[in-house]
Structure 1
Amino acid sequence: MRKLLCSGALLGLAALSYSAPPPSKSTLAFSGGEKAIALSGAYASARVLIEENGRDVTGDVKLALGNPSLAVLKDGTLWPRKDGATVLTATRNGQILMIPVTVTGLAGAKPPRFRSDVMPLLTRYGCNQGGCHGAQQGKGGFKLSLQGYDPDADYESITRAAAGRRVSPAQPENSLLLRKPTMLVSHKGGQLFEAGSPAHKLLADWIAAGMPKPLPEEPDVTGLEIVPAVRTLSVGQKQRFRVWASFSDKTRRDVSAESLFSVSDGSVAQVTLDGNAKIVGKGEGAILIRYQDRVATASLLSPFAAPRAPQTQPTTVDRLIENKLAALGLDTSPNCSDADFLRRVSLDLIGLLPTPGEARAFLTDTDPQKRTKLVGRLLERPEYVDYWTLKWGDLLRSNRNVLGDKGLTALNRWIRNSVAANKPWNAMARELLLAQGSVYDDGPANYFRAASTPDALTETTSQVFLGVRIACAKCHNHPYEKWKQHQYYQFAAFFSRVKTKNGEAPDEKIIYTTKSGETTHPRTGKVMTPTALDGAPLPKEFTGDRRLAFADWLTDAKNPFFAKVLVNRLWKHFMGQGLIDPVDDVRVTNPPTNPALLDWLAADFVNHGYDLKHTMRTILSTRAYQRTAFPTKINVADTRYFSHYFFKRLDAEPLLDAVGSATGVLEKFGGYPAGMRATELPDTTAGSYFLDLFGRPARNIVCQCERLEAPNLGQLLHFMNGKGINQKLSAKDGRIAKLIEAKTPDDKLVQELYLASLTRLPDQDELFDGVMSLREAKDKRQEVEDILWALLNSKEFLFNH
C-alpha cells in the first residue's frame, strides 16, 4: 500500500537525481506544512496545493518537474510513470519552492482492485449517481448501485450483464467501459476523460488483468482529512483542496483525484469536479467531499465586511455567537423594545398575545429584571402547558385518525402531564420507547401504534430523537451521509420483537414484546445484530428487551445526537432558524452554522438533567434572542448567524388565537366547548379552513416540514377579504362593540386597538392619524373596524418579531 516516506530520505534521493539552482528566500509553502510528495503504487496520485501566507496561489505559480519521465503533471495533480526521485519546482514572482518527489511501487505492481480503485473512479465521474447509471432503473440498460453501495452487484453488472459486452479482456481498448466515457462511441453522459489519461489507464489495466473481483480483504476507509479544513476568503478568490483517506490497514494516501466534490450553498461558493472552489457570495459555505462510503466537509468563510475582534458578552451563548459574527465581519442590531420582547416571548412560550392590561403593566414596570421575571411567570402559566402539548403532539403524531379517540386521549394526557411536570427529556424518551400495555391506558404505548413496524419505528425514532433522516438507507446507502443499508436494518433489529395484539375493547391494541423475532438484510438475507448508529453491537448473550439497550444508548450523556437535536429544535423555535436546518436533517453534509454553540447548548442541557425549561431560559436570556428584528446596513444579508432577530410568521394555531384575542371573538370549533383556543386542541383534525390554510400539519409524518411555514397568496387574501375575519370585526360581543358601547375616547380607543393587536402603543403619527380618521368618519363603528382590519393585515401582526 502507498505510504508517505521520510522527508529526510527523500531529500537525499532528490539530491542524487536532480541538481537545481539554490532557491531564493520564499514565503511559498506546500499544503499542510508537508515537505515532500510520495507516489507509492501504479495508481497513486497527489494534488499539488501551493500556499502563500495562508492563501492558495497554485493557479498563479509555474510548476515544473525536474524529470518529467517519472510522473505526469496535469492540472496541478501528479500521477506516477516509473520508479525514481525528482523535484517539483514551484515559481512565483521570483520565489522558488522545491518539493522532493519520489515514485515507488510501479515495478511489479499489482492490478487495480475493484472496490478500492475502480469503484471510486466510477463515483468520481458520476457514473453511479442518481442522474446516470445509479438511477433506480439505470440508464441505457446499464445499472449501477447508487454511489457504489453494492460493489458485488456492480461487478456483476459490469462484467456479466448484457452478455459481458461492456468489457473485452482480450482487447481492453475496445471495451465499452472505455470507449463510451472517451466518446469513441456515442455516450449521453459526454466525454468524462481522455484516452491515455490516468483514469483510462486504470480501467484498461483492470480489464487486461481479467477484471479481478472485489476482495473482502480490501481495506475499509476509516476517515477523511481535508486540507484546508477552514479558510476565510473574499469574493472572487479561489481555493483547491487535498483529501487524505485513512484505511483500516493503517495506511494513508491522497485521494483528491478520486473524490467527489459539491457545495451546500451555491450562493456562497462553487466548486469544480476537480475540487477547485471559488467564492461567489458572502457568508459561509460548506464544500462536501465524498470518497467511497465516507463524507466530510470543509468550511469557506466569506466575510460580509472586514473581520473584527470579538466584543465581550454577558453569556456563553452570546460569546459563541459573537465569535462567529466577528469572523464574518457582521455587527449586531440593538436591543429590542420592551413591547417587542413582551409580544415575542409571549407568543414563543404560551402561543398567545398579551392582553392590553398585561401590556400596559409590563411597559410601565421599571424593574430592571422584568424581562427575566416575565419569562419565569410565562413558564408557570397553564397556557404554557397547552402550547407545548401542541408542539410535542406534532412531533409524536398525536392524531385521532391513527390512534382513535381513546388512544389520542391517553397520549395527549401523558404529554400534558409531562409538560406540566417539566419532565426531563431523557425520561420522556425512555417512557415512549419502553412503553407496553394497552394504548388506552398507557399513553406512551401509542408511539408503537403510530409507527407499528420495525421499519417505521426505525425511521420515526431516528428522526424524532436523533434528527437523522435514515429512510434513504432502507434501499441503498444514504446518498448524502455515511449511513449504510446494513445500518438501517441493524437499527430496525431493536424493534423486531415489539408486537401488537387486539385488546378486549373495540379497536384497543396491546403493545408487548417477545423473546423471538429477527430483522434480516433484504439483499443478503443475513440476520442483523441490533446496533445503534455509530454504536456497538448488542452482545449476543443479551436476552432482555432490546429496546432497553437502545434507550440506554440513546439517553447516554455521551450520545452525539440526542441532546443536540432537542436543543436545536428549541433554538429553531425561539430564534426562527436552526443551528442545523432543517432541524431533523442532521448529517455531515448539512453542518451547523455554529458548531461550538450547538455543542455547548447540548452539554449544558445534559449537565442540567435534560431540563427543557432550563434551556428555554438560557436561550431567552441571551442578547441574541432580545435583539431587534431590524437589521443594520452591514447585517441586513444575514439569515443564519443571529446578528439580528429573524421575523417568523406565526404558526396556524397561535395566529388564529391572536385574531381572536385582538378582536375579542374566539373561534368556535365543532365538537369542542366554546372558548377553547386553537392551541388547546388535542389534535389537528378539528375542522378549520383557517388552520388548514395556514399550514397546520396532519400529523401523518414526523418531519418538521409537514407544518408549512411559508406565507402564500391564499393567506393574504383570506386576511384581506375572508368572511371569518370580517365577522369577528363586526361581532356584537367583540372588542370593537364593547369599546363603542363604553364610549371610549378616541385616543384611548386607538391605543387599545394597538395594544390588543401589536402589543404596543401607537406612536404620535399613528395616534394622530387614528384619532383624525375617527373624528372625520361618517360611520364611526365602520372606521374602528377598518383600523383594526389594517392592523391585522400588517406584517407586524402576522409575524413574530
Structure 2
Amino acid sequence: MNHDQDPPTTEIDAERPRTFRSRMAGFARFGFAGFCLLSTFAFLTSGMSTPQPEREDSREESTSDFPDSASVSFSRAENGKERLAVQQTIGRLWQEQIDAASLQTAPPADWLTVCRRLSLALVGTGMSLEEIRDLESHPEDERIERHREALLIDPRFHDYWGERFTRFYVGADEGPFLVYRRRRFRTWLSDQFAAQVPYDVLVRRLITAKGLWTDRPEVNFYTVTFDSGNGQPDPIRMAARTCRAFLGIRIDCLQCHDDFLGNVSMGNPEWMGGDGDFREGTQEDFHSLAAFFTAAKNEGLQGLRNRKPKYLYQYLDATQEQEVAPNVPFQRELLEPASEPIDSEETKSERDQDAAAATLISITNEGDGNDVADEMEAAGASEQEPVTEHYVDQRARLARWITHPENVQFSRAFVTRVWTLMFGSPPTGAVDDLPLNEDPNPILLTLSHAFIESGYDVRNLIRMITDTPAFRIDSQSPEGEGAFEITARHEQAMAVFPIVRLRAEQVAGAAIQASRVKTLDRETSILLQFQQYQEGQDFLRRYGDLGEDEFSNDTATITQRLVMLNGKLTSEVSKWNPILNTSSHVGMFAADNTKLVESLYLANLNRYPSQSESEHFVKRIEEGNSRKNSIVDIVWVLLNSSEFAWNH
C-alpha cells in the first residue's frame, strides 16, 4: 500500500471552502450595510456633516448689513456721558410720570434688596451667603454695581437667559422627534449671550438660519415646526411666532379673517416717525408675511436651504387659491426691493470658487495663446452668467426689515421683554402684545432708542434698566408719618417696585442656593451640580411649570403650598446635614445664636433680621429641647414664608 498517496477528496470536502467564502462575503455585505446605516444615523443625530464657517461676532456685523440711507450711529454706549445722559432723561421722565399721577413714592430700597432682585432676574436664584459676605467687604455705594457686573459675566447668566429666550422662541415642549434639538438650541443661545453678540445680529441669524439642525443649532428655530409642516417649516406658525417674538405684535387672528374689531391695527405710528395713519389688519398682512418662510426648504441630509418662495392661499372670500407675494404688514418703505439680488452665502461661495478657478486658469495658460473666456466657461464661471438667475434671499430681506434701526417696534419689543425679566412682570398688558396704535411708555421708548444707539447691546440695556429709579425703589411705603397705602396705581406709575410671585424655577433655584454656603456655579463639583439639577427638575414637576407663558401671574395653588410645606426639596435643604447644608454649617461655626439667626436670614431671605425677629428666634433656640431641631425649624419657617416666594 502506498502511504504517500493523498486521501480521496469527497464532494462535501470540496464544498467547504466555497461555503466559507460565501458566508464571509455575506457577513461583509451585511457589515457594510450596517456601517452605512449607522453612519447615516450618526450624521443625522451627532452632526457629522461639515459645518458651515461661523460668522464673526463683530460689532461691524450689526451695521454693515444696512444700506447707507438707513445709517445710524451705532457707537457702543459706554459707562460715561452717554449712559449718564440716558439715566438723567429717564429720571426726569419717571418724576414727571409720578407728578402727573399725583402719587407718593416709596423710598429707595436697601442694597441687599436690589442685589436680590438682580440675582433672581439674571441667574434665577437668590444670593449665596458667600456672595453677601464678599459684598459686605466693599463700600456700600459700590455693592450693587459690583454685584451686577459680576452676574453679567457669570456663566449662570448666559445659561439662565438662554433658557428664558428658548421658551420665548421655540416654547417649552420637546418638539418633533429626531429633527428638533431643543438642548442644542438653548446651548447656542447661551453661547450668543456669552459672546455678547448684538441682539439684531442674533435675530438675523435665527431668521436666515440654514444647514443641518445638528450642525447649526439655530436651524431648530425652524425645525420645531416640522411636525405641522409635513417635514418642512410651517410658514403659518413661523409668521405668528416671528411677529410675537421679535415685534411684540399678535396677528394670529388675521390668519383666518380680516380684523373687524379693531384689535390689530397696521400703519406708521407717530412715535416711530410716521404719519400716524392706521388701518385694520387684513388676511393679506398675515399671509404675505408667511410667504417669506416658504423660501426655507428642508433638503434632507443637507438640512435647511434657501429656495425660491412659493406660497398659495385661498382667502376667506376668494373662490380659489392664489399666489401670495412676500411682504411686511407695516413700514413697507423699510423693506428692500425684491428686484435687488441678495445672494445667499452658498451662491457667493460658488461664484468666489469659480472666480478663483478662472484666475488659476489664466495664470496657468498665460502666454499660451489660449482663450481665457473659454477656460472660464469650462470652469463654470462664465462672465455671461446673469446674476438674476440666483435666488433672492427672501428671509434675509425679512430679517433686515425686522432689525432695521428705523423699525423701533423691534427694539421696543425686546426692551419690554428685558424689562419684564428684570421686574418679574410686564410694564403694561402682555409682554408680546404691544399694538402699534398704542403709544409706549416714555421711559420704555427712551430705552428703545438708547438700545438702538448702543448697537443692540444686551448688557448695556440691562445696566440702563437697573439704573432706573423704578428698579431701585422699594416695594413698601415708609414707616411712620410718611406711610401711605399702596394701590395698583402706584405699581402702574412705577411709584413702587411691583411685588411679583417667583416663577417655579426661581423658587427652586433660591431654595437650593439657600442650602449651600458657597455659590452654586460651574466651579461647583459635578456631583453637586447633578444633585442640583435633579432636585430642581423634580421640584418643577411637582410645583408646576408655566412653560412658555411664564409671566402669567396666577395665584398660588394648594399643590404648590403642599410642595413647599412637605415636599422633598424643602426637607433636603432644611435638614441637618453637616457636609452640605448651610443650616448645619452656621449652627456649628456661628459665634453666637444672634449671628446664627442673622446668617440664616441672609442665606434664605437675603436680608438682615429685624431686632424683634432676631430676639424671637434666639429665644426659640435657647429654650428648645434640641438646638439642631430648632435650627432646622427656623430654616423651614423661612422657606415657607411669603417673603421667600415673592420678588419685592
TM-score w.r.t. the length of structure 2 is: 0.67
Amino acid of the structure 2 residue aligned with 1:532: V
Q: Which of residues 132, 137, 151 is equivalent to 1:359?
A: 132
- Paired residue for 1:713? 558
Question: Distance in 1 between the 2:622 and 2:559 partners?
Answer: 34
Structure 2 residue 446 is matched with structure 1 residue 604: no
| Residue pairs, 1:119-130, within 5 angstroms | none
- Paired residue for 2:433? 585
| Residue pairs, 1:322-333, within 5 angstroms | 322-333=95-106
After superposition, the Cα gap between the structure-2 partners of 1:535 and 1:622, relative to the gap in structure 1 and judged at 3 Å, is closer
Report the CA distance between 1:579 and its aligned residue.
3.3
Report the CA distance between 1:520 and its aligned residue.
2.6
Report the CA distance between 1:587 and its aligned residue.
1.5
- Paired residue for 2:403? 555
- Paired residue for 1:528? 324
Q: Which of residues 598, 602, 615 is equivalent to 1:755?
A: 602
Higher relative contact order structure (alpha carbons within 8 Å, sequence separation ≥ 6): 2
After superposition, the Cα gap between the structure-2 partners of 1:349 and 1:724, relative to the gap in structure 1 and judged at 3 Å, is closer
After superposition, the Cα gap between the structure-2 partners of 1:354 and 1:595, relative to the gap in structure 1 and judged at 3 Å, is closer
Q: Which of residues 504, 510, 513 is equivalent to 1:652?
A: 504
Deviations 1:207-239 (A, max 9, x none): xxxxxxxxxxxxxxxxxxxxxxxxxxxxxxxxx
| Residue pairs, 1:447-526, within 5 angstroms | 447-451=221-225, 452-478=233-259, 479=261, 480-482=263-265, 483-503=281-301, 510-523=303-316, 524=318, 525-526=321-322
Amino acid of the structure 2 residue aligned with 1:584: D
CA RMSD, Structure 1 to Structure 2 (Å): 2.9
After superposition, the Cα gap between the structure-2 partners of 1:740 and 1:381, relative to the gap in structure 1 and judged at 3 Å, is same
Amino acid of the structure 2 residue aligned with 1:764: Q
Report the CA distance between 1:601 and its aligned residue.
1.1
- Would you say the 8 A contact 2:212–2:303 is kept in 1? yes
Q: Which of residues 627, 631, 637 is equivalent to 1:790?
A: 637
- Tell me the SS of whatever aligns to 1:795: coil
Report the CA distance between 1:360 and its aligned residue.
2.9
More helix by share: 2
- Would you say the 8 A contact 1:695–1:709 is kept in 2? no
What percentage of aligned pairs have identical amino acids?
A: 25
Question: Distance in 2 between the 1:725 and 1:453 partners?
Answer: 43
- Paired residue for 1:615? 461
Q: How many residues align?
A: 471
- Paired residue for 1:369? 142
- Paired residue for 1:251? none
- Would you say the 8 A contact 1:411–1:446 is kept in 2? yes
Structure 2 residue 545 is matched with structure 1 residue 696: yes
Report the CA distance between 1:690 and its aligned residue.
2.2
Question: Distance in 1 between the 2:621 and 2:486 partners?
Answer: 40
Question: Distance in 2 between the 1:741 and 1:598 partners?
Answer: 49
Amino acid of the structure 2 residue aligned with 1:569: R
Question: Distance in 1 between the 2:461 and 2:86 partners?
Answer: 18
- Would you say the 8 A contact 1:651–1:695 is kept in 2? no
Report the CA distance between 1:443 and its aligned residue.
0.9
- Paired residue for 1:341? 114
- Tell me the SS of whatever aligns to 2:104: coil
Question: Distance in 2 between the 1:558 and 1:541 partners?
Answer: 22
TM-score w.r.t. the length of structure 1 is: 0.55
Question: Distance in 2 between the 1:606 and 1:770 partners?
Answer: 52
- Paired residue for 1:633? 484
Report the CA distance between 1:357 and its aligned residue.
3.0
Amino acid of the structure 2 residue aligned with 1:486: E
After superposition, the Cα gap between the structure-2 partners of 1:345 and 1:738, relative to the gap in structure 1 and judged at 3 Å, is same
- Paired residue for 1:642? 494
Deviations 1:348-399 (A, max 9, x none): 2222222223213324532533322322222122221122112112112265
Give structure 1 regions of 4+ aligned residues with deviation exceeding 6 angstroms.
677-681
Amino acid of the structure 2 residue aligned with 1:541: S
After superposition, the Cα gap between the structure-2 partners of 1:330 and 1:569, relative to the gap in structure 1 and judged at 3 Å, is same
Amino acid of the structure 2 residue aligned with 1:779: S
Deviations 1:452-499 (A, max 9, x none): 211011011011001111111111123412221111111111112211
After superposition, the Cα gap between the structure-2 partners of 1:692 and 1:756, relative to the gap in structure 1 and judged at 3 Å, is same
Deviations 1:257-286 (A, max 9, x none): xxxxxxxxxxxxxxxxxxxxxxxxxxxxxx
Unaligned segments of structure 2, at least 5 residues:
1-84, 226-232, 266-280, 341-390, 478-482
Question: Distance in 1 between the 2:536 and 2:607 partners?
Answer: 33
Deviations 1:105-131 (A, max 9, x none): xxxxxxxxxxxxxxxxxxxxxxxxxxx
- Tell me the SS of whatever aligns to 1:332: coil
- Would you say the 8 A contact 2:424–2:647 is kept in 1? no
After superposition, the Cα gap between the structure-2 partners of 1:577 and 1:678, relative to the gap in structure 1 and judged at 3 Å, is farther
Question: Distance in 2 between the 1:465 and 1:370 partners?
Answer: 34
Report the CA distance between 1:696 and its aligned residue.
2.6
- Tell me the SS of whatever aligns to 2:305: strand
Unaligned segments of structure 1, at least 5 residues:
1-311, 504-508
